[in-house]
Amino acid sequence: MKIGTVAIEHLAFLAPMRAVNCPSFRILCKQHGAGLLSTQTFWSWEIEKWEHRLDEEFAGNDAPLSVQVGGNKPEELGRAVELLAPRAHVIDFNAGCPHADACGNKSGAFLLLHLNQLERAVAAVISATNKPVTAKIRTGWSPDKINAVEVTKLLANLGVAAITVHGRTRQQLFKGTADWGLIKVAKDAVQVPVIGNGDVFSGQDAARMMSETGCDAVMIGRAAKGNPFMFRQVNDWLDRHVITTRDTARAVQDFRAFARSYHAIERDRSVSEFKDQATWFMKGLRGVKHLVDAIRAAPDIPSIERAFDQFSP
C-alpha cells in the first residue's frame, strides 16, 4: 500500500493517542510490525509550547511516521505544519477528536458540523507541505448528523492522500459499537485509500473489517495501548492466518524494552507517564495484581523498575 509516495509494508496502523504515543512506545510498535506510526495530536494553538521539545518528541527510529495536526485557523495550521513536516513522512489532519477541549476550540470533530471551516483548514495544511496529507474523521457528529460520505468526498476533492474513518459519531465518544457499514459507504464513495478504525481488537477483527468494508488498512488505538504486541498478532493473522498469543512473560519483556528505550531517548522523564505505561502493559493479564499494586505505589521510576525486576511471571 502507498500513501502518496510513502510505501507501507504492513496494513495495521497505530492510531494517534494523547499521552500514549511517546517515541519509546512508537518504536516498540514498529518492532512488532505496525505499518504506519502516529504521534499524538499537535494542536495548532499549542504549537509554541512544543517547539523546545521537538527533538525529544521525534527521537528514535520510528519511520514511517505520521504526524497529526489539528486546529481550525489556517494561519496557525500553516505554521504548525512548516515546523513539523520536516520530521514527518505523512501529515495527518485531525477532524475526528471528540474531546471537549478540541471541540471547544472549534477543532477535531467540531469541523464535521462546519464543512466550510474544515475545507479551509485542510487546504491550508496541504498548501504548507509537499508531504502526503491525510485526514482522520468520524462518521458524523451524532446519529441524526451522519455525513461520512459528504466529508470523505470533500477531503478527496481537496487532494488528501488517504482518509481514516472511525466508525463512531462524536456523540458516542468511545462507547457503543463502531458502525463498519458507514466505513464501507465512505470507502465506496472515493478513490483514495480509506483506513478503517474502531473495534479492532484482534487479527480476526482486522480481517473481518477489511472484508466487510473494503478498507485498505486498519488503524488500532485502544487495543494497542500497553500492548504493542497487538501488531504482531494482527499481521500474523492477516499474512498467515496464524493466531499468536501474548502472555504475561511477553508483556513484561515488552515493558522492559520500553523502559530501556525510555531511559535512552526520553529526556524529560515523567514518573506519571512511566507509571501509566507500566500499568497499561499489565492490564488484563493474570497473576500481576501485586506487581500492579507496586507500580501504583512507586514514588519514582527506579522503584517501578525494581518491581519488575522482582516479579516472576
Check: CB of residue 19 under 8 Å from CB of residue 273. Answer: yes
Longest alpha-carbon distance in the chain: 57
How many angstroms separate the CA atoms of 203 and 12, rounded? 9
| 215 part of the active site | no
What is the rounded CA–CA span in Å between residue 201 and residue 203?
7
**Sequence-distant (≥ 6) Cβ neighbours of residue 259 within 8 angstroms:** 274, 305, 308
The residue from 22, 29, 97, 103 that is catalytic is 97
User: Any idea which residues carry the catalytic annotation?
Assistant: 97
